[in-house]
Amino acid sequence: MNEGQTHMKRTIWINDGAYLFKAAPERFDYLKLKHELEKGAGATFAECYYFGAQSMSTSAQDSFNKWLKCAPPIGPKMILKLSPLKNMHMDCPHCGVGYERQMQKGVDVGIVTMMLQLAARNRYDQLVLTSGDGDFANAVEYVKQLGKSFCLAGFKDSVSPDLQCFADTMLWLDELWEKVRKVPGVGGETESATAGLGKETGA
């Protein structure tokens, strides 16, 4: 594929931050991940979106968020869509004892809204999604009905078959792991960006 064809294939990347935080075996580099996904999708990303949740602002989290927004070669240049974590009261089904648990709220709705709005406005030709949540299947099916192609990226043991069946291109992150994992002491990132190179706090 030549450069002109690559740029004609308008592609966006939507990333489910909580999915990668839970599914990745260890720390990874979002900038390297973006590069490998672009190669796998056969297109330079026109826009990249990071959806996540955080309970409170910390210096490490703020550094990570700032780094995500930076353009290459510093960072992956992602548009952040962050939702606050909500305190939920839960009762143990076995003993009945109540406890508080923080849960993300609104992230999945935000992802679905973004992919549908941009598709309806014809802002992309191809959607790249890093997630494994089968709840996105109906939205992805509609996106494909609008004539968009769908590239799904995830780990083999954590991607719902309900999503896999709609993928025009399947990128298994297990097979890309050695190229995207964070190697301690290697890389040009600054100390302030270290929190963003892999498993971030509060994702």
Residues 25-49: what's their mean pLDDT?
96
pLDDT at 97 (0 to 100):
65
pLDDT at 174 (0 to 100):
97
d(CA 185, CA 4): 37
d(CA 68, CA 49): 10
DSSP string, 151-198: EEEE-TTSS-HHHHTT-SEEEEHHHHHHHHBPPTT-SS--GGGGGGSS
d(CA 11, CA 27): 26
Is residue 200's pLDDT more than 90?
Answer: no
**Model confidence pLDDT, tens digit, residues 45-56:** 999 999 998 767
Range in 37-46, 94-103, 121-130, 192-201 the model is least confident about: 192-201
- Closest alpha carbon to 132 in 186, 171, 188: 171
Is residue 13's pLDDT more than 60?
Answer: yes
Task: Please state the pTM of the whole predicted model.
Answer: 0.80
Are 23 and 154 contacting, i.e. CB atoms less than 8 angstroms apart? yes
Is residue 16's pLDDT more than 80?
Answer: yes
Is residue 163's pLDDT more than 50?
Answer: yes
> Which of the pair, 80 or 96, is modelled with greater confidence?
80
Structure tokens at 107: 């992230």
All domains in the chain, ordered by first residue: 12-196 (3.40.50.1010)
Task: State the Rg of the chain over Cα.
Answer: 17
SS3 state at 3: helix
